[in-house]
Structures are given as C-alpha cells and as structure tokens.
C-alpha cells in the first residue's frame, strides 16, 4: 500500500490500573474496575465478555471519548487525551456519513489533515480499489449492503494511517455469511498492514480466529478475568475453525464467558445450574480444559 | 499490487456471497435483438402504472371540481351556502385574461413576491444559523429559547398593529410580518434537526481528526439539512398566510390587497382570481423549495 508508508513498529497501547465509574442518583456506579491490558505494536488483541461488561467502555476510553476515573491509557507512552486520527475507529453501526459518497467518506480524514483535493481523491481511489469497492466510489452509503458499508468503514479508518485500529463489534450487525467474509478480509488486511488492533466482540469464534491474544472480561463491573494467547498459525484461513486446536480454545473461552454471562443475567452459579450449561469446566481448571 | 491479491483472494474464495454483495449488475439482459417499440412502450407503462394512475385521477378530480363550481354558480344554488354572487369559472377566466394584460395586476403579484422573497430570506438567513448555534451551544439555547417560546405562539397577524408602530413605512411592516411568520418554523425545525444528529457520527468525525469547526460544517450542518428544509417548507407556507393577512389589513399593493379591494369594488370575479393567484404562488414557492432541497441533498433523493 503505497499511501501508507512502512513505519517503525509503533502503536503500543497500554491501559494501567484503569477504572471508570459514572454518577447516578444512588451514587457512583462502577462500569470497569481495576483493569490492565496492553497491545504490543502490530499485535491483534480482542476483548470478549458478556454484554454490558464494559468492554465497549474500555475501547471508548482508548479512543479518547471517555476519561478514566482512575488509571492511565497511553499509546506509545503518550497519554490519551481525547479522540485523534492516530487511533482509527470502526463502529458497529458503520457510522458512514450519509451525505458523503463512498469516496468522500474515505477522503474525510485526509481532508481534515489538509491534504489537497486531487491528492486525497487519488489516495481514496487506491484504498477503495484494495477493498474491491472502486465501482462504488460515487454511491451514497444508503445504497450499499452491510458488508460493503463496513468495508468502507474500515478503509476510512485506515486512510489516515493511524497507529492503532479500534473496532467496536464491527461485524455485529452483519449476517453470518457476510461476517465470515469480513473476518477473512480483516485478517488479510491486518496481515498486510501489521497495525496494532484492539477488537471488541462478544463472538468467541471471531475473537479466536482473528487474534493473537484474547482478553476475557468479567460481568459488571468489568475487569480482566483471563488473558488467553491464541497460538494458531498465520495467515489464518476459515478452515482452521474446524481444527482441534481451535475447538479446544473455543471450549475454554466459552466456559469462561458462560460463567460471566450467567452472573451478568443475575443468576446464581450453582453446580446444578452449571451442569446443563457447562459440563466441561466441572472439576477442572481452565488450564486443564485447554 | 500484492495486497490487492490478498483481498481479491478472500473474495474469490466465497464467490456466491460476494456476487450477492456486488450490487446491481451492469447488464442483466442477454445480448439479443433490441426490443420493438411496442414492447418498450408496454414495459414503460408497466413501470409507471402507479404514477400514470395518480396523474389521471388528479386531472379527473380537478375537472370535476371545475364542473361542480360551474354548475353551482350557473344555477345560483342556495343551500345553506349562497352561490348567488359567486363568480363562475368562465367569468374568472375572462377576468384572468384581462388581468394578464393589466400592468397593475402584474405589479400586485411582483410586489407580493418581493415581500415574500425579502421576508422569507431574512427569516432563513437568521433562523437557520441561530438554530444551528443554539443546537450546538447550550448557553445560547438557554438564553434564546425562553424568549422564542413566548413569542412563537403569537400569530404573525397579531403583530400587525405593533409592526405598524415599529416600522416607519407600510412596506417594511408587511415584510416584517412575513419574516415573523416564517422565522419560528425555520428556527424550531433547525433546532430539532440539531437535536437529532447521531452522536456516533460526531465521534467518527473526531476519530478522523476533525476539530470543532469541521464537525460543525461536515457533520452537524448536513445532518440537520433535512429538518432545515422541512422548516423552510413550513415557513414558506406561513409566510404566505401572514403576508396576505398583512396586505389585506394594511397594504396598498400586493395580491392580498388586490383580493380585498376586489370585494370592496364589487368585482366578484377578481376575488376568485386573487385567491387562485395566491394558491398558485404558494404552490410554486413550495415546489421551488422542494427542488432546492433535492439539489442540496442529493443523498436523500428517492
């Protein structure tokens, strides 16, 4: 990709002693408690957890939209103080500008940087070509399918050459088939760009398939319950999702999440209740299962 | 480019879904001989059947209205409502042809249009930016909104005496009334549009390096445009209502004055002519605004 020159390894995300709470009439409510995560330069890291566990809150804090109550968020040693083009973000709702064509959407970040029109048009065309969207550059987002919209969303976030890419359940609104294709496209792109990625999802398969490491969060107040390295070889192909290695990882992660999901739903975790849901974990530690 | 190959590869491996994703295919018809004129006409008819039907019914309905009007006036029907003095469509048409050659009638129309243009434009030039700023800055909203809420329910016509006191000339007070009529719908709708801007789009812009001014120009403003145009359409309607009322009360010229004067001079056909002229002008101006809206917002075109 000629528009994004090779850089020295950068994009080291660090979240230390992080907690975030907001005020309510009953006093402060803690959304995320005492969390440490990090993403090494060029690493693909996912955060999974039950809904409402604060994984999106954490990602929004890395993006700079939320200030931590305590602790520190930094990228390459620099404290995060509000949103910036250094941290590209992809949203679940696509959030393309409906009044801009596909190409104008991709150009937006370059325009904000003051790049002259002809130059940014060329850059946007090249990027759209890489995503197989050159035929749609003049379309308005409304006319695109969900998968195409999100490809535009990813290309738009990458256009300015950010240090890190943050994705907040980007494929959550897509149908199962499109989702699988998008995962493959994303892993291919990442393989090529070697950009640091922090990826939030509740889909365990997706997290394992894409990531180098997966953080599993507890129910609210969210904190890191486990950190699981994914030693699957790269480049990743869909066929790997059938391998025994993949399935073992999946089983382990699944049981971790289920436990938290039950907590999030307010259920008691009794041996009896767990029997139906989670046979694998009984009597074993997670390490044994994996 | 090798990354090209990587992405292509992924698409090739799932041909079925990617095809489905690729959207409209450029040529779906196989290369056969061009269809005959008859087939084309039939196809066109099938595609536009709904529209043709609506047009046909519309024409019939208008003709039926004219016919009913004609019958009611020629037979001078009195049935609760009295049609004794109501001019017939033919009489109105006769006074229309006469008026078309009368520079005075045309001057009435031109003057009314000028008042609308000035009053409405001022309302748009002040109302839209004020609404945008109020939507963006809470303090301005908190200061301006209570005053606006108190003044808003006062009909523009109720301002006539005050306007005559405020402004030195009659012309200025009529323009002021027109301005007031359109100002509040424009302001309120712009504000409403601002309150509905999707915060995720603002976040997306911030993540792409946009600062406050760019966000205002590139996100808040275009996102509010559909509601701004709703405000302009409603405002234009109210502007005509206010203008005609003001002209009837305090005017010397203008189509509202023309209509009222026709009544005083017992020129019954001219009353209907004035009314129809007002209707056509109102319709024309809202068509203009709708057209402008489609030009400015090509993304929302159906």
Can you tell me the ipTM of this complex? 0.85
The answer to whether A34 touches A18, Cβ cutoff 8 Å, is yes
Residue B31 predicted with pLDDT over 90: no
pLDDT band at residue B32 under the 50/70/90 scheme: low
Residues 23-52 of B with CB under 8 A from A: 23
Q: Token digits for A135?
A: 């035929």
Rounded-to-integer distance, Cα A128 and Cα A122, Å: 10
**List of residues 6+ apart from A62 with CB closer than 8 A:** A13, A15, A73, A75, A80, A87, A164, A166, A198
CA-nearest residue to A62 within chain B is: B207
Q: Token digits for B29?
A: 């018809």
Residue A286 predicted with pLDDT over 50: no
Handedness of CA B272, B273, B274, B278 (dihedral sign): positive
Write out the DSSP string of A90-143. E-TT----TTS-HHHHHHHHHHHTT--HHHHHHHHHHHHHHTT-GGGTTS-GGG
The answer to whether B203 touches A89, Cβ cutoff 8 Å, is yes
CA-nearest residue to B199 within chain A is: A95
Residue B14 predicted with pLDDT over 50: no
Per cent of chain A over pLDDT 90 is 70
Residue A275 predicted with pLDDT over 60: no
CA-nearest residue to A141 within chain B is: B299
CA distances from B266 to A129, B255, B259, B263 (A): 74, 16, 11, 5
pLDDT digits (tens, 9 = 90+) for B240-261: 999 999 999 877 899 999 999 9
Handedness of CA B170, B172, B175, B179 (dihedral sign): negative
Closest CA to B242 of B169, B185, B290: B185
pLDDT score at B30:
53
Residues 47-86 of A with CB under 8 A from B: 63-65, 82-85
pLDDT score at A265:
74
Rounded-to-integer distance, Cα B86 and Cα A268, Å: 82
pLDDT band at residue B21 under the 50/70/90 scheme: very low
Q: Token digits for A36?
A: 């440490």
Strands of A13-24's sheet in order across: A27-39, A13-24, A70-75, A78-79
pTM: 0.81
Interface check for A4 against chain B (CB to CB < 8 A): the answer is: no
Residue B8 to residue A1, Cβ atoms within 8 A: no
Residue B27 predicted with pLDDT over 60: no
Interface check for A112 against chain B (CB to CB < 8 A): the answer is: yes
Range with the largest mean pLDDT of A45-54, A60-69, A220-229? A60-69
Residue A147 to residue B7, Cβ atoms within 8 A: no
pLDDT score at A279:
41
Q: How much is the average pLDDT of A117-133? A: 91
Determine which of B7-11, B57-61, B213-217 has the lowest per-residue pLDDT on average: B7-11
pLDDT digits (tens, 9 = 90+) for B197-229: 999 999 999 999 999 999 999 999 999 999 999
Residue B200 to residue A95, Cβ atoms within 8 A: yes
Q: How many CB atoms lie within 10 A of CB B285?
A: 19
Rounded-to-integer distance, Cα A156 and Cα A16, Å: 29
Alpha helices for chain B (secondary structure H): 2-13, 15-21, 37-47, 49-74, 89-100, 103-136, 138-151, 160-166, 170-195, 199-207, 212-215, 221-250, 255-264, 268-296
pLDDT score at B1:
39
Q: How much is the average pLDDT of A164-190? A: 93
Residue B117 predicted with pLDDT over 60: yes
The answer to whether A85 touches A163, Cβ cutoff 8 Å, is no
Question: HSE-up of A283 (CA within 13 Å, CB side)?
Answer: 2
- Give the phi and the psi of residue A196 in degrees, each rounded to 5: -70, 135
Q: Would you put residue B102 in left (φ > 0), alpha (ψ -120 to 50) or beta?
A: beta
CA distances from A63 to A28, A74, A84, B16 (A): 23, 10, 8, 36
Residue with tokens 């600062």: B211
pLDDT band at residue B193 under the 50/70/90 scheme: very high
Residues 25-54 of A with CB under 8 A from B: none
pLDDT band at residue A49 under the 50/70/90 scheme: confident
Q: How much is the average pLDDT of A52-57? A: 88
Helical axes B2-13 vs A176-193, angle rounded to 10°: 160
Residue A72 three-state SS: strand
Which position has the higher pLDDT, B11 or B103? B103
**List of residues 6+ apart from B197 with CB closer than 8 A:** B135, B219, B220, B223, B224
Interface check for B122 against chain A (CB to CB < 8 A): the answer is: no
The answer to whether A70 touches A117, Cβ cutoff 8 Å, is no
Q: How many CB atoms lie within 10 A of CB A26?
A: 6
Interface check for B302 against chain A (CB to CB < 8 A): the answer is: no
Residue A112 to residue B214, Cβ atoms within 8 A: yes
pLDDT score at B240:
96
Q: How many CB atoms lie within 10 A of CB A75?
A: 22
Q: State the smallest CA–CA distance between residue B4 and chain A in angstroms.
A: 5
Of A63, A93, A100, the CB nearest to B207: A63
Average pLDDT, chain A: 87
pLDDT score at B301:
65
Q: How much is the average pLDDT of A166-182? A: 94
- Give the phi and the psi of residue B252 in degrees, each rounded to 5: -120, -25
Residue A189 to residue B299, Cβ atoms within 8 A: no
The answer to whether B7 touches A189, Cβ cutoff 8 Å, is yes
Rounded-to-integer distance, Cα A56 and Cα A59, Å: 5
Rounded-to-integer distance, Cα B71 and Cα B88, Å: 8
Handedness of CA A202, A204, A206, A212 (dihedral sign): positive
Average pLDDT, chain B: 88
């Amino acid at each position: 990709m000629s528009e994004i020159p090779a850089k020295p390894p950068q994009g080291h995300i660090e979240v230390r002693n992080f907690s975030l709470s907001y005020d309510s009439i009953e006093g402060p409510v803690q959304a995320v408690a005492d969390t440490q995560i990090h993403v090494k330069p060029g690493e693909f890291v996912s955060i999974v957890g039950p809904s409402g566990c604060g994984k999106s809150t954490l990602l929004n804090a890395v993006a700079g939209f939320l200030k931590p109550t305590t602790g520190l968020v930094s990228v390459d040693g620099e404290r995060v103080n509000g949103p910036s083009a250094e941290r590209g973000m992809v949203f679940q709702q696509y959030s393309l500008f409906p009044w801009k064509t596909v190409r104008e959407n991709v150009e937006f970040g370059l325009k904000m940087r003051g790049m002259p029109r002809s130059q940014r048009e060329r850059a946007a065309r090249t990027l759209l070509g890489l995503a197989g969207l050159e035929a749609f550059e003049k379309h308005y987002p409304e006319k695109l399918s969900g998968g195409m919209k999100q490809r535009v969303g990813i290309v738009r976030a990458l256009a300015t050459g950010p240090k890190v890419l943050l994705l907040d359940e980007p494929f959550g609104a897509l149908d199962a088939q499109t989702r699988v294709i998008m995962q493959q496209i994303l892993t291919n792109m990442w393989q090529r760009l070697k950009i640091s990625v922090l990826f939030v999802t509740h889909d365990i398969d997706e997290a394992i398939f894409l990531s180098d490491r997966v953080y599993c969060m507890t129910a609210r107040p969210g904190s890191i319950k486990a950190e699981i390295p994914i030693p699957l070889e790269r480049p990743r192909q869909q066929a790997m999702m059938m391998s025994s290695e993949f399935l073992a990882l999946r089983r382990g992660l699944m049981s971790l999440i289920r436990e938290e999901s039950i907590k999030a739903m307010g259920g008691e975790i009794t041996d009896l209740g767990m029997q139906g849901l989670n046979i694998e974990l009984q009597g074993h530690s997670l390490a044994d299962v994996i | 480019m090798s990354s090209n190959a990587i992405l292509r590869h992924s698409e090739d491996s799932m041909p079925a879904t990617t095809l489905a994703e690729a959207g409209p295919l450029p040529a779906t018809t196989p290369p056969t001989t061009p269809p005959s004129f008859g087939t084309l006409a039939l196809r066109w008819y099938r595609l536009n059947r709904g529209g043709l039907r609506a047009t046909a019914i519309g024409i019939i309905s208008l003709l039926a209205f004219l016919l009913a009007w004609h019958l009611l006036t020629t037979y001078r029907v009195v049935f609760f409502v009295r049609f004794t003095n109501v001019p017939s469509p033919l009489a109105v048409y006769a006074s229309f042809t006469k008026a078309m050659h009368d520079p005075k009638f045309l001057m009435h129309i031109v003057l009314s249009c000028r008042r609308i243009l000035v009053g409405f434009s001022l309302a748009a030039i002040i109302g839209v930016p004020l609404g945008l700023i109020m939507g963006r800055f809470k303090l301005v909203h908190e200061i301006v909104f209570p005053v606006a809420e108190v003044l808003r329910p006062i009909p523009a016509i109720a301002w006539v005496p005050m306007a005559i006191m405020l402004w030195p000339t009659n012309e200025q007070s009529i323009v002021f009334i027109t301005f007031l009529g359109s100002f509040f719908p424009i302001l309120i709708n712009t504000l409403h549009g601002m309150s509905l801007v999707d915060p995720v789009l603002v976040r997306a812009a911030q993540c792409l390096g946009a600062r406050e001014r760019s966000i205002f120009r590139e996100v808040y403003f275009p996102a509010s445009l559909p509601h701004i145009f709703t405000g302009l359409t409603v405002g234009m309607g109210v502007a005509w209502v206010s203008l005609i009322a003001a002209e009837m009360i305090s005017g010397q010229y203008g189509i509202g004055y023309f209509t009222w004067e026709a009544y005083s001079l017992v020129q019954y056909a001219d009353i209907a002519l004035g009314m129809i002229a007002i209707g056509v002008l109102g319709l024309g101006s809202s068509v203009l605004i709708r057209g402008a809206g489609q030009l400015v917002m090509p993304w929302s075109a159906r």
